[in-house]
């Protein structure tokens, strides 16, 4: 692959597996040094990055905690001197329940990780990018940030809010050289979907039948969208919430 990100630095949160891992590897394949951040062990992702000839390190980070995110950014800058790209991907699906059966604890946990995590990341990533005069941020929303789904209101609320904060921060930085966009994945074959399918035996067939392209997405397909949004090919793109969903929201 062309090393379009050589001498650049990327942070990927939630990179121990799934879409985050695919994105971290994709950045490394383009030549970027990659900071793999996750509350879970990211050593396997780092191993895969090094197998591609890439460079990076793992930092344990709970994005819901301000101090963890600050430490992640500080370590990135102290190690590599800069932050060129950030894919703020960490998130959880939350619990499945009608609104009247959703506990405050479940609501808060989902919003703390999904939404507050994105807030924390941009809060500390942007000052470094401002010093550099350039940067690209991609936040991970979802098709659930564009339409509603019954039974997962905390998740839907968090992802709609990510779309909103992405647009707001994009406008705040429109003249600074920092672009801020979001990807909105559809149904992707990740651990999150695997957990859902295990508890709902008919779910895989139902989910596949609902996809206009006739299949579920792959983590690598989301990663490629993230790479494009960070690249100079997307230099006039900011404030976009881009569906990567096989046509699902077009129905």
CB-CB contact of 13 with 138 (8 Å): no
pTM of the model: 0.95
Query: How far is residue 218's CA from residue 180's CA, in Å, rounded to a whole number?
Result: 23
Only one residue has tokens 């039948």, namely 209
Looking at the annotation, which residues are catalytic? Answer: 155
Per-residue pLDDT in tens (0 to 9) along the chain, 251 residues: 899 999 999 999 999 999 999 999 999 999 999 999 999 999 999 999 999 999 999 999 999 999 999 999 999 999 999 999 999 999 999 998 999 999 999 999 999 999 999 999 999 999 999 999 999 999 999 999 999 999 999 999 999 999 999 999 999 999 999 999 999 999 898 877 777 777 776 777 777 888 899 988 999 999 999 999 999 999 999 999 999 999 999 99
**200 in any annotated domain:** no
Residue 180 domain-assigned (yes or no) = yes
Residue 201 lies in a domain: no
In a domain, 207, yes or no: no
Q: Is 193 among the domain residues?
A: no
And the tokens for 42?
């990211």
Residue 74 belongs to domain with CATH number: 3.40.50.720
């Amino acid at each position: 692959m062309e090393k379009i990100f050589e001498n650049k630095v990327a942070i990927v949160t939630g990179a121990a597996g799934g879409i985050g891992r695919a994105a971290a590897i994709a950045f490394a394949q383009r030549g970027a040094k990659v900071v793999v951040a996750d509350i879970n062990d990211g050593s396997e992702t780092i191993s895969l990055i090094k197998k591609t000839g890439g460079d990076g390190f793992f930092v344990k980070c709970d994005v819901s905690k301000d101090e963890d995110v600050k430490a992640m950014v500080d370590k990135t800058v102290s190690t590599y001197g800069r932050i060129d790209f950030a894919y703020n991907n960490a998130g959880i699906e939350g619990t499945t329940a009608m609104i009247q059966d959703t506990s405050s604890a479940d609501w808060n946990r989902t919003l703390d990780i999904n939404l507050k995590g994105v807030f924390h990341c941009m809060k500390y990533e942007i000052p470094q990018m401002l010093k550099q005069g350039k940067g690209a941020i991609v936040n991970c929303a979802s098709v659930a940030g564009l339409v509603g789904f019954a039974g997962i209101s905390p998740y839907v609320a968090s992802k709609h809010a990510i779309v909103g904060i992405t647009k707001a921060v994009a406008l705040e930085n429109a003249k600074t050289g920092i672009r801020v966009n979001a990807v909105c994945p559809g149904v992707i074959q990740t651990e999150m979907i695997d957990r859902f399918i295990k508890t709902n035996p008919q779910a895989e067939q139902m989910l596949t039948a609902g996809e206009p392209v006739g299949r579920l997405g792959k983590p690598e397909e989301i990663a490629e969208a993230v790479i494009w949004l960070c690249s100079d090919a997307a230099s006039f793109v900011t404030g976009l919430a881009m569906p990567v969903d096989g046509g699902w929201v077009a129905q």
